[in-house]
A = this chain, B = another copy of it.
Amino acid sequence: MEKHYPVLRKCVLFRNIEDMNYEHLLQCLGTQVRKYKEEEYVFFAGDVINHIGIVLSGVVEIMKENLAGNKHILAFIEPSGMFAEGIVCTAKRISPVTVQVKEDAEILFIPYERIIMSCGNVCGFHISLIQNMMIILGEKNFNLNRKLELLTLKGMREKIASFLINESLERKSNTFHIILNRTQMADYLNVSRTSMCRELARMKEEGLIDYYGHSFKILDMDELAQCLE
């Protein structure tokens, strides 16, 4: 377990709990670790969830799948990232999303009750945990809002532009690689792959962007930003 301490240290839930004895902390919280193989499901939409998950290694995918089989990717969670933190705070704790492992993963589970309740012992970190939980929920909200923004855009070009500009901002460079392949990117933008490819080709032809495989380059940022207005 010790090998995962650096990952935990980066986890937002444990922020401002520097002087920590992790052994004691984890025990007090009643945590459990489980290993998953690629493609394995952690839980499904509709399941009742009582634990928060922290990815120690590997990658998990958060997604929605409707009855028609259309899949929509909400996020990829990498080591030190969390999931299910929004679900456990609701009244019914029914997950609206499905979580699937994309690369062999180890996941740390923490019972929600242990986070919001004080443990009875004199553990000073509970207040910090609670405040961190709030920040996490706030940020989650913020990200959902960004996602909403993307989905409310009307045109294909607007969606692509918004996506690429955001990626570029996050990497702080006009040249960047994306993790997603075309199918995943289309899922993320909630459009059909073929239409997206067509529009990407047009934008390349017009000299707005350039790309090859997963590498993208924004050639005319001003013009690209114009697409959003």
| Chain A interface residue number, banded | 35 or more
Contacts of A134 in B (CB 8 A): 89, 116, 130, 133-134, 137
Contacts of A91 in B (CB 8 A): 135, 138-139
Contact indicator per residue, chain A 153-178, by CB within 8 Å of chain B (1) or not (0): 11000000000000000000000000
Nearest CB of B to A89, in Å: 3
Contacting chain B: which of A1-9, A61-69, A199-207, A209-217?
A: A61-69
A:76-115 near B, CB below 8 Å: 86-91, 96-97
Indicate if the CB atoms of B151 and A148 lie closer than 8 Å: yes
Contacts of A229 in B (CB 8 A): 66-68
Cα separation A77 to B70 with both chains bound (whole Å) = 32
The yes or no answer to A131 lying at the interface (CB within 8 A) is: yes
Query: Whose C-beta in chain B lies nearest to the C-beta of A192?
Result: B154
The yes or no answer to A147 lying at the interface (CB within 8 A) is: yes
Query: Whose C-beta in chain B lies nearest to the C-beta of A145?
Result: B96
Cα separation A154 to B67 with both chains bound (whole Å) = 13
Indicate if the CB atoms of B133 and A86 lie closer than 8 Å: no
The yes or no answer to A72 lying at the interface (CB within 8 A) is: yes
Contacts of A137 in B (CB 8 A): 86, 89, 134, 137-138, 141
Cα separation A137 to B131 with both chains bound (whole Å) = 13
Q: Can you add 12 more A-B contacts, CB < 8 Å, to A68-B229, A148-B151, A151-B152?
A: A64-B152, A66-B228, A74-B148, A86-B142, A86-B145, A89-B134, A89-B141, A91-B138, A96-B146, A116-B131, A134-B137, A147-B148
